[in-house]
Structure 1
């Protein structure tokens, strides 16, 4: 490639260099409008380095971890990962990864340095989940540096171990809380039919859906009453103060069979929603899904170019309710009903556990909850309840008794 040249054109300066020939013809590359020669040289040097590096603005052997994390975030995280993961990783990179490793070269990062960092996070009192997820973020960036980038040959996070970390009892109790029938009954009595929280509660309990999936159901297109099924096509997700329909977590699109009780609850809700539309008339808020998958609400007498949907949860006047709305419901359950460990995800835990307690196959539970594998299902969502322990004893007792009489 040709050398960088500068020249003055009128009152301003221009840089130029010769690019690779195209169809055998010269390919001059230039840009002008710089106030001084120094400005033109600086801009031209950067442009030529980027051109010589096939559009890349750095040399892999020289890039810092700080700059590489920015590159990974822009080119992979923002393009391929969910919005919530983007915001989570941005914070972890800014608060934990850059301060620890940012000044070093990407090529110099070794497992022992990362292990010391992980151990130090434990000493500073971070929760095990925080340590695991921060290491996962760093490891994901390193994997991208191997494939497809080929900046490094091995992942320095491999072999790094999370130290044993005692989990506070209240955290363990909160994470493993199962909404037993007595608690569920109290919750439904407090937030019964007619409450804007009734349908999200019974949906989580009867279907085991994630909270974003629950609020993301469209009662007009996601339900098939003939087949008694409901399809998970999206989740409701907030991005920059606006709500969107996004693919479900892990793109776990799935069709779930509905039990008769839940199906009746849905039919009653749809009927009541239609009555509310008539009662409020033009003051009823209709909901539309726009081409960019954003959710927009307008009065019934306003026409807009979008697909009309019927969100699973709204107020009487059609006003959209969201996963953020559910936080009020959880506070009431904690403080008024005296169930401190309840959280929206516990309905999902409960659904999976009820299935497992009553003999559903691991594959059935996995597919219903939308997990990638059964290991996730049993490690995270199905707990070893007293019923399971008692059943294990009964199964073993029955087995040896049968053997004794053979």
Structure 2
């Protein structure tokens, strides 16, 4: 027996008014019919149209919508039409993660507000409207609004190249002001506390803290890439060429991985190291919600009972990767080695962490005083300085 017809009214707010469409099923197949926008259409009228369509389906007289073919001038192509074609053209050139980001920006934000606007008419006013609407909703931070606008900027770049938009790109120079993100990482005692608080997930956090893997690299890591006899881990799939690398396993991380494999259900060469109970990939969001956050809470309880400071606020999976760089510097590694182990081509992050670790390790204030009065330390006593060496080639 065929499924009964069911459906919903789709309602979207855009810069040119509120638009309405129908989404319903016929014999189990999804159908989508665009009705129009206000003021010609409203919610009540759209609901009546849905009732009519479902009645037609039940009587067996419904026919798919076949609008007359209308030649659309290039400049009149809507953002929705042009962006959909752009995604089809460009989607194969980027990673799955990037495609997911583009779909997030388009489906959840850009097309909801600007979807019906002709792409050739997108200007500063439409960009400012998008920013105002998104900020007023309160769901996106200024940084996230900017991420969506960067996707729109790429789309309009193509529209300009194809002669559909006259240019210049209205997204350029109109991003929202954002504060510099506060980068967090763990000190050695904090890192150990978090691993200890992770229970049977301790190896997953350890490979980030003591191995520096990105969360995507953790999810995709397979046992064939872990050489326990040589204490090496090979990152095969990464977002950059430099990201494909061989990591030296510390004795503690090696022990954690050995214990993890001994208790793993899936331990074949092609099995995922951190598989779900069904042997599949873990979801990024679930690692944060189900593993990292509970471990942070547990570690804080233990530290509070011991009278120790709580872990830094805002710890994320990427904080654990930064902690790896910090720990390497603490252990005496030089920036070049840290970059190679982390899979970086840009030295920015590695050197930022390096500089901050050196500020802590060097008595900067006393050194400054000594430059002014070499024989004085504030008490009249002569002081002597010893350089802190951080690996071969360190400054």
TM-score greater than 0.5 by the shorter chain? yes
Q: Which residue of 2 aligns with 1:207?
A: 211
Post-superposition Cα deviations, 1:345-404, rounded to whole Å, max 9, x if no partner, equal 22112112334567755554444333452346567xx49757635637169539837999
- Distance in 1 (CA, whole Å) between partners of 2:151 and 2:128 is 15
Q: Supply the distance in 2 between the matched residues of 1:350 and 1:139 (Cα, whole angstroms).
A: 34
1:72 shift after superposition: 1.5
Whole-Å separation in 2 of the counterparts to 1:229 and 1:399: 45
Q: 1:114-133, aligned counterparts within 5 Å? A: 114-118=127-131, 121-122=134-135, 124-125=137-138, 126-133=140-147
Secondary structure of residue in 2 paired with 1:163: coil
CA separation of 1:42 and 1:331: change in aligned 2, threshold 3 A:
closer
Q: Distance in 1 between matches of 2:336 and 2:168?
A: 34
Query: Displacement of 1:116 after TM fit?
Result: 5.0
Q: Aligned pair in 2 of structure 1 residues 107, 385: CA closer, same or farther (>3 Å)?
A: same
Partner of 1:55: none
- CA deviation vs aligned residue, 1:264-315 (integer Å, no higher than 9, x gap): 3267348726xx7xxxxxxx6566xxxxxxxxxxxxxxxxxxxx51432358
- Aligned with 2:117: secondary structure? coil
Contact 2:326 2:354 in 1 (8 A): yes
After superposition, the Cα gap between the structure-2 partners of 1:120 and 1:252, relative to the gap in structure 1 and judged at 3 Å, is farther
Structure 1 residue runs without a partner (length 5+)? 1-38, 50-57, 235-247, 277-283, 288-307
What residue is the counterpart of 1:309 in the other structure? 270
Alignment of structure 1 residues 282-293 onto 2, 5 Å? 285=266
Asked whether 1:181 is paired with 2:181, we answer no
Q: Secondary structure at the match of 1:86?
A: helix
Equivalent residue, structure 2, for 1:297: none
**Match status 1:92 vs 2:105:** yes
Q: TM (normalized to structure 1)?
A: 0.58
Distance in 1 separating the partners of 2:77 and 2:209: 50
Q: Does the alignment pair 1:329 with 2:343?
A: no
Cα distance change on mapping 1:62 and 1:179 into 2, 3 Å: same
Cα RMSD (Å): 4.2
Match of 1:347 in 2: 320
Distance 2:373 2:337 in 1: 29
CA separation of 1:375 and 1:158: change in aligned 2, threshold 3 A? farther
What residue is the counterpart of 1:254 in the other structure? 244
Deviation, 1:131, is 1.6
| Alpha-carbon distance change, 160 to 198 in structure 1, aligned in 2, over 3 angstroms | same
The two structures have a TM-score, normalised by structure 2, of 0.60
Distance 1:399 1:224 in 2: 50
Structure with a larger share of its residues in strand = 1
Matched position secondary structure for 2:323: helix
Number of the residue aligned with 2:347: 374
Determine which of 248, 258, 272 is the counterpart of 1:268.
258
Question: 1:258 Cα shift?
Answer: 0.8
CA distance in 2, matches of 1:142, 1:376: 31
What is the CA distance between 1:133 and its match in structure 2?
A: 1.1
Per-residue CA distance 1:30-82 (angstroms, 9 max, x = gap): xxxxxxxxx9x988x68xx7xxxxxxxx65333121211111122223x2333
Distance in structure 1 (CA, Å) of the matches to 2:328 and 2:256:
21
| Alignment CA distance shift 1:335-1:224 (3 Å) | closer
Taking structure 1 as reference, are residues 269 and 383 closer, same or farther at Cα in structure 2, changes over 3 Å only? same
- Which of 85, 89, 96 is matched with 1:71 structurally? 85
Q: Structure 2 unaligned runs (5+)?
A: 1-63, 301-310, 376-383, 385-395
Shift in CA distance, 214/132, structure 1 to aligned 2, threshold 3 Å: same
The structure 2 residue matched to 1:217, chosen from 210, 217, 221, is 221
Length, aligned pairs only: 297
Q: What is the deviation of 1:95?
A: 3.0
- Check whether the contact 2:211–2:253 (CA below 8 A) recurs between aligned residues: no
Alignment of 1:400 onto 2:371 = yes
Q: 1:386 to 1:231 in 2, by over 3 A?
A: closer
SS in 2 for 1:256: strand
Deviation (angstroms), 1:212 = 2.1
Does structure 1 residue 156 correspond to structure 2 residue 170?
A: yes
Q: In structure 2, the residue corresponding to 1:184 is in which secondary structure?
A: helix
